[in-house]
Structure 1
Amino acid sequence: MAHLGSRRRAALAVPLGLALTASFGFLPSAASAAPLNETPTAAVSTNGPELSYVVNLSHYGSVKHVTRAIERAGGSVVTTHHKIGVIVVHSANPEFAQQIRKAWGVASAGATRTAPLQAVQTTDEGSTQVLSAEAAAKAKKAAKPGMEPLEANQWDLRAIGADKAHKISQGSRRVTVGVIDTGVDDTHPDLAPNFSRSQSANCVGGVADTSEGAWRPYADGSDHGTHVAGIIAAARNGIGVSGVAPGVKVAGIKVSEPATSLFYTEAVVCGFMFAAEKGIEITNNSYYVDPWYFNCKDDPDQGALVESLTRATRYAAKKGVLSVASAGNSNWDLDSDAIVDDSSPNDTTPGSRTINPKECWDVPTQLPGVVTVGATGDKGLKSYYSNYGLGVIDVSAPGGDKWQVPDTPDANGRILSTIPGGEYGYKQGTSMAGPEVAGVAALLKSEHPWATPAQLQWMLKAQASKTACPTHVYNSAGELIEATTCKSNGRLTGYYGAGVVNALRAVR
């Protein structure tokens, strides 16, 4: 995996639009009597590359007045999220952000990308090992009564007790998990029975497109979202694999740009808002928001992106949505004081910078209220690539590890799941651990339908299998080394948080 499945909990110092009530507290148009101090009326430049921006209103801000200021600064409004005070804008004025920040009623504003809107970028999200017909036949031969045909290779289900949990409960049809990702192939025979079209959309660009099939991956696009969806809710229908919660519904919310796996703020904000308004109970977020691996609050652009996303996730939580996110695949300690990020911005030319992850956040994973997930392998050890950090990781789950080889027909330490075209494949990453947790959360929500997102997060931690720091872990070369980087505090550890989630306990 590259940035997909890459990723954390503190308080942001930028003004976050405050209580974020349902109405957000905008002033009515009568506020025109106030001094506007807006963008000068002189002609503005439109000779720069057209970029996308988010403009965050202050608690006293008026959409009407800020929209006028946006137009004077050479911007055009794409959409307005009235309930959280976020406006998505396009502008070719290279000074747009600096000018609009001076406007009355604006709390912050920033460019969501460094590449022009029409630019085509590519990213490497990691390879998928497609399950061969020969391997499938071997798995089917090894399947025991009551197992799905390929379930013998799903060591991850057994690691969290999901196989036993399914004999008690497979989850409720009243619960939907939204996969905010690269799109979901709802025609896959293991996903079609549980797919919710009415709760699916394409949010690329910032506006939800709910037309038929808009949520599917691009024809030449990524299989990532479909793989994630199968981990959560592949049906127990005698066809292929089983998800952690095979009785719940799954929805696809596509947020990745065409021909790439880049996720920009305007699309992700749309994804959270869409999930909130469509009654989705849980979202899975196996990505970080591009182009910055970490967003520093003292940078006016990056701080504005964090503010928009914070508003969106807080609003979603108020509407009953629990957000689950992956911790990342760089083997970094997110509780340290310094990390060298040499991958940002990843939509143009990356530079190198040293950041403090306590102040510069990987989003949405480090946003308040989001469940941060680390990855483990078949032996129960932290996966060699998984990010970690005491007080950052909430819980862990199987994400796969090629060095921790299971006793399965394929002897493959990665995670087997659905991929487009009715096929199956193996991936590893915290991208795979996140949906394992989202699946367990769906089982918990099925058993406790009135539980709030905060209560569900507490339950996830309470039912997790407590896991102490190991003495050794594998490194990227497959060597067992001393686990000197694992810190603990009581029953919490930097590798596993409160422990590895347990599906069987969730349904008991």
Structure 2
Amino acid sequence: MTPRPARSRRAAAIPVGVALATAFALLPGSASAAPLDGGTSTASAAAAEGESLSYVVNTRPGKGTAEQVQKAIVKAGGEVVQTYAQIGVIVVHSTNTGFAETIRKVRGVESAGATRTAPLPAQTTTDIGAPQELTPEQMRAATAQAAEDEDPLQPLQWDLPAIKADQAHKKTLGSDKVTVAVIDTGVDDTHPDIAPNFDRDASVNCVAGKPDTSDGAWRPNENESPHGTHVAGEIAAAKNGIGVTGVAPGVKVSGIKVSTEQGFFYTEAVVCGFIWAAEHGVDVTNNSYYVDPWMFNCKDDPDQKALLESISRATRYAERKGAVNVAAAGNSNFDLASDSILDDSSPNDTTPGDRDIDPSECLDIPTQVPGVVTVASTGAKDLKSSFSNYGDGVIDIAAPGGDSTRYQAPDAPATSGLILGPLPGGGYGYMAGTSMASP
């Protein structure tokens, strides 16, 4: 989780510098979240000043339709950034204040909307907080307790025996013919626990809404979140005599970077990520985030409806190509099956406001997109994590994502109720959240 308090699942994790405080803050009744009433006025205000906004335009199927719509986009003052003809989604930039309203009237357009309420920014760096890194002393203590068949830090990984992964490893470590894509903040494939299982061909940078295949573009820079690297290690850290062990240490893992340096996951980037995964042999995608800037996207709002439609098309396309899409449930302690939720943190890229939403009509994406496997979090005592979203008929499965050690202390030799994983640069540290549950 980043310092931005509105983002309760920014990559659905809680880095430990703020993990304990966040767990305390997200006890029952302390939910955080939310869009403004209509959801479009802020976007219109930003564009009215002539600032460039990003849009998705969803078209009816057909090559001819796409070509006609692209001509209309240019005529309406838009610049086509990328066309995903496979699903009828076009990514557009425009400074025209009336672009969305104009393009919605074009024949062949089913929906269109701004993907953000803030103008397209120049890349800047922000402090995103840090996990609790293991000290050399802690590493030596864990190594001294490791069994002969365990990696050195495995004694600290209470989450593996919690789901009997340690027993499963005696039968199989997983198949190297399976690739899990981490759609996230980027993955440091130079980490010695990730490098042996990393699939470069299935990795890419999608932050701009189109694929950047330059070497290493999928990695986080030194100012960006370690979240994606931690998640990748939880999935497939190699059983190689060093560090930690992944849940499936024999499978391949790839990095699909979709988060901006500021930590935002915008629709155009996420659509690109799913399409890339679908077309590069990915078997499973892990999605530990929600799509910005709206925590919930309401079907009766034209902008939010378009974002939901674009993501839904992308996830369905990946499914048709054989992928299973898994998503974190979120860290706001919301009942996603309730009749009403106070969403008070959206849009999180400009000025948030309050609204009561019906979570059956206003969806957290990709978490609530049909076909996506939704994962809640449990702690070391096998109880719901204090921060985890929940909901009968909405949550598909729960898995260890950690909790404050004060609430759910693990059995020895583990010492922290949080989840241990790799960090960029070769280190290891604890994080917690539904992000840690979905891997």
- Do the two structures share a fold, i.e. TM-score over 0.5? yes
Give the match for residue 192 of structure 1: 195
Gaps in structure 1 of 5+ consecutive residues: 8-44, 436-508
Higher RCO structure (Cα 8 Å, ≥6 apart): 2
Mapped contact 1:5–1:430 kept (Cα < 8 A): no
The correspondence of residues 117-196 of structure 1 with structure 2, limited to 5 A, is 117-118=120-121, 127-196=130-199
For residue 63 of structure 1, report the CA deviation from its aligned partner. 1.2
C-alpha offsets along residues 82-132 of structure 1, whole Å, 9 cap, x if unaligned? 010000000000110001001111000000001111256888866411111
Return the letter of the residue paired with 2:280.
Answer: K
CA distance in 2, matches of 1:373, 1:123: 29
- How many residue pairs get aligned? The number is 397
For residue 110 of structure 1, the aligned residue among 110, 113, 119 is 113
Contact 2:9 2:435 in 1 (8 A): no
Distance in 2 separating the partners of 1:191 and 1:338 = 42
Name the SS of the counterpart of 1:343 in structure 2: strand
Question: What is aligned with 1:342?
Answer: 344
Structure 1 segment 14-29 matched on structure 2, within 5 A: none
| Pair 1:424-2:428 in alignment | yes
Q: Which residue of 2 aligns with 1:461?
A: none
The verdict on how the C-alpha distance between 1:243 and 1:401 changes in structure 2, with shifts beyond 3 A counting, is same
Tell me which amino acid in the other structure corresponds to 1:360.
C
1:366 is displaced (CA, Å) by 0.4
CA-to-aligned-CA distance 1:115-153 (integer Å, 9 cap, x gap): 111256888866411111111111011111211100000
From the CA coordinates, give the structure whose radius of gyration is larger: 1
**Counterparts of 2:232 and 2:288, CA distance in 1:** 11
Which position in structure 2 is the counterpart of 1:270?
272
Gaps of at least 5 residues in structure 2 are 2-7, 14-46
CA deviations on 1:229-267 (whole Å, 9 max, x unpaired) are 000000000010000000000000000012x11000000
Cα deviation, 1:347-380, whole Å, max 9, x if unaligned, reads 1111111111111000001001000000001111
1:257 maps onto 2:260 in alignment:
yes
Q: Distance in 2 between matches of 1:265 and 1:137?
A: 43
User: Over the residues paired in the alignment, what is the CA RMSD in angstroms?
Assistant: 1.6
User: In structure 2, the residue corresponding to 1:342 is in which secondary structure?
Assistant: strand
SS of 2:92's partner is strand
Matched, 1:4 2:10: yes
Matched with 1:53 is 55
Trace 1:51-450 onto structure 2 (pairs within 5 A). Answer: 51-59=53-61, 62-118=65-121, 127-258=130-261, 260-402=262-404, 403-435=407-439
Question: Hey, what's the Cα distance between the residues in 1 that align with 2:12 and 2:355?
Answer: 18
Indicate how the Cα distance of structure 1 residues 330 and 317 shifts in structure 2: closer, same or farther if over 3 A, else same: same
Distance 1:133 1:410, change over 3 A: farther
Paired residues of 2:12 and 2:435 also in contact (CA < 8 A): yes
TM-score by length of 1: 0.76
From the superposition, tell whether residues 118 and 341 of structure 1 become closer, same or farther in structure 2 (CA, over 3 Å).
same
User: How far did residue 273 of structure 1 move?
Assistant: 0.1
- Determine the structure 1 residue equivalent to 2:37: none
Structure-2-length-normalised TM-score: 0.88
Name the CA distance, whole Å, in 2 between partners of 1:361 and 1:160: 29
Q: Distance in 2 between matches of 1:202 and 1:71?
A: 26
What's 1:34 paired with?
Answer: none
Kept after mapping to 1: 8 A contact 2:12/2:434 = yes
Task: Tell me the alpha carbon deviations over residues 317-357 of structure 1, each in whole angstroms, 9 at most, x when there is no partner.
Answer: 00001000000000010000111111101111111111111
Q: For residues 410 and 355 of structure 2, what CA distance do their matches in structure 1 show? A: 39
Aligned-pair CA distance for 1:59: 3.8
Residue 47 of structure 1 deviates from its aligned partner by 5.3
Percent identity over paired residues: 64
Question: 1:35-87 deviations in whole A, cap 9, x for unaligned?
Answer: xxxxxxxxxx9852100000000246711110111011100100100010000
Distance in 2 of aligned mates of 1:219 and 1:377:
30
Secondary structure, counterpart of 1:352 in structure 2? strand
Secondary structure of the structure 1 residue equivalent to 2:345? coil
